[in-house]
């Protein structure tokens, strides 16, 4: 997830963020995957994101790993690069496979016009992913998860809609997957064999002409051979926010809670490494259905943001509170998804401060609060970067 709880001046884990992971560590999860960590502080998805690169002080990262592992869970760092999914108010230049901006209707102006990456830039990004993975290993994390979903940079290269290149990084499915495979090979060669390497992959982009389930199957076939330890399946991107529940059209309870299960069944048929499925899962019966479909690991995100000790409660057989948000039925899927994410972040902020969540905020209020906090964080981000430059 994206907590937006970093120390904005340093892009390191803040005390508030570490407190949140302490609560999750006590909640009984077997594995905790961090919210995405940027591999380059000059390419940030949001001003409250964590970044781990050559300029980072590892002290806070070491504490983050130690606290998260303190109750027996493994912890993997999810590592990412935003590509064109960068906000204009950060004052940074966005780069992408091609100079194609995001199309999210009226909100498009909030995102940068990207420049197409040169071959040297692409090679530099590979090096940055590898460097961040090595730093995560030094800091005490048990593994990394390479984020190649949700429309971020590696996912952009996979998409024929975002990647219009005609060189070795674009065109054929093999060329479009070259960046992801290069990152995976680089990390696997640089870290210990005991250090877990996972990949987060879209089962589909849910866009006509975009990255398809058939493309996902082909990518998984290759990842099977590359020393990857786990593949997490999700779906959607900023332009088609299926990861926020917008893909669930079926009246089936299972389909409405496990958004990508249908595609996971197809991928499970060819995967030889463990599969994890995330996307709306919150109830025991749905988790059991997911496992029965051939998926090895149930991924919980929103459910843990709402009920941090959900795993412990499941193990005790307790009657559980509702661990699911209601996505607003707004005409703009992008705004509805943003409001839903605002509810999730409101809960995470409460937990990080040690406060009990006694009611659920309305999505429209959460959306307004998140807009204000984004404005304030962006202003602070630009101020700290300006001072540092001067």
7-22 pLDDT, tens digit each: 999 999 999 999 999 9
Residue 132: per-residue pLDDT: 98
pLDDT in the model for residue 251:
45
Q: Record the pTM.
A: 0.92
75 vs 30: CA distance, rounded Å = 9
Cα 345 to chain centroid, rounded? 14
Helices and strands in the chain: count of H runs, count of E runs: 14, 13
Residues whose CB falls within 8 Å of the CB of residue 387, separated by 6 or more in sequence, listed in order: none
**Residues near 110 by beta carbon (within 8 Å), at least 6 away in sequence:** 87, 88, 89
Q: What is the CATH number of domain 6-389?
A: 3.20.20.70
pLDDT confidence of residue 105: 83
Asked whether the predicted pLDDT for residue 249 surpasses 60, the reply is: no
Residue 255 confidence (pLDDT): 47
Confidence category of residue 257, pLDDT binned at 50, 70, 90 = low
CA neighbours closer than 13 Å in the CB half-sphere of residue 385: 17
First-to-last C-alpha distance (Å) of the chain: 33
Q: Once rounded to an integer, what is the mean pLDDT over residues 112-131? A: 98
Asked if pLDDT for residue 341 goes beyond 60, the answer is: yes
Q: How confident is the model at residue 330 (pLDDT cuts 50, 70, 90)?
A: confident
CB 8 within 8 A of CB 53: no
Of 241 and 91, more confident: 91
Query: What would you measure as the largest C-alpha separation in the chain, in angstroms?
Result: 58
DSSP code of residue 273? S
pLDDT, the chain, mean? 90
In this prediction, residue 244 has a pLDDT band, given cuts at 50, 70 and 90, of: very low
Mean pLDDT of 299-309: 92
Q: In the numeric block, which tokens belong to residue 77?
A: 């760092």
- For the record, the structure tokens of 140 come out as 């005490």
Neighbours of 103 (CB within 10 A): 13
Please check the confidence at residue 209 and state whether its pLDDT lies above 90. Answer: no
Taken as a whole, the chain contains a residue count of 390
CB 136 within 8 A of CB 192: no
36-84 residue pLDDT tens: 999 999 999 998 999 999 999 999 999 999 999 999 999 999 999 999 9
């Amino acid at each position: 997830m994206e907590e937006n709880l970093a120390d904005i001046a340093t892009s390191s884990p803040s005390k508030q963020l570490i407190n949140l992971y302490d609560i999750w560590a006590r909640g009984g999860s077997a594995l905790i995957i961090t919210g995405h960590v940027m591999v380059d502080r000059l390419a940030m998805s949001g001003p409250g994101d964590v970044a781990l690169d050559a300029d980072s002080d590892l002290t806070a990262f070491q504490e983050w790993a130690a606290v998260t592992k303190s109750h027996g869970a493994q912890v993997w760092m999810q590592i990412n690069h935003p590509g064109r999914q960068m906000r204009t108010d950060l004052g940074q230049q966005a780069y992408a496979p091609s100079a194609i901006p995001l199309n999210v209707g009226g909100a498009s102006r909030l995102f940068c016009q990207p420049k197409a990456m040169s071959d040297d830039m692409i090679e530099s990004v590979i090096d940055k992913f590898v460097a961040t993975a090595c730093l995560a290993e030094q800091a005490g994390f048990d593994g990394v998860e390479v984020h190649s979903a949700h429309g971020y940079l590696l996912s952009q290269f996979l998409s024929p809609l975002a990647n219009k290149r005609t060189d070795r990084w674009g065109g054929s499915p093999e060329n479009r997957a070259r960046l992801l495979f290069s990152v995976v090979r680089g990390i696997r060669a640089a870290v210990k064999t005991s250090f877990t390497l996972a990949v987060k992959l879209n089962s589909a982009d849910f866009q006509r002409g975009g990255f398809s389930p058939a493309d996902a199957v082909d990518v998984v076939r290759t990842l099977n051979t590359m020393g990857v330890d786990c593949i997490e399946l999700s779906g959607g991107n900023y332009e088609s926010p299926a990861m926020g529940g917008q893909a669930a059209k079926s009246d089936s309870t299972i389909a409405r809670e496990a958004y990508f299960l249908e595609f996971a069944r197809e991928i499970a048929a060819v995967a030889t490494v463990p599969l994890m499925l995330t996307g709306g899962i919150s109830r025991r019966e749905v988790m059991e259905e997911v496992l029965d479909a051939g998926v090895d690991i149930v991924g919980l995100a929103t459910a843990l943001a709402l009920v941090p000790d959900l795993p412990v409660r499941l193990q005790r057989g307790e009657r559980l509170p509702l661990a699911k948000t209601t996505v607003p039925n707004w005409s703009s899927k992008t705004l509805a998804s943003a409001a839903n994410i605002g509810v999730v972040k409101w809960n995470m902020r409460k937990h990080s401060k040690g406060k009990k969540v006694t009611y659920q905020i309305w999505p429209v209020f959460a959306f307004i609060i998140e807009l204000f906090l984004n404005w304030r964080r962006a202003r602070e981000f630009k101020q700290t970067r300006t001072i540092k430059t001067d």
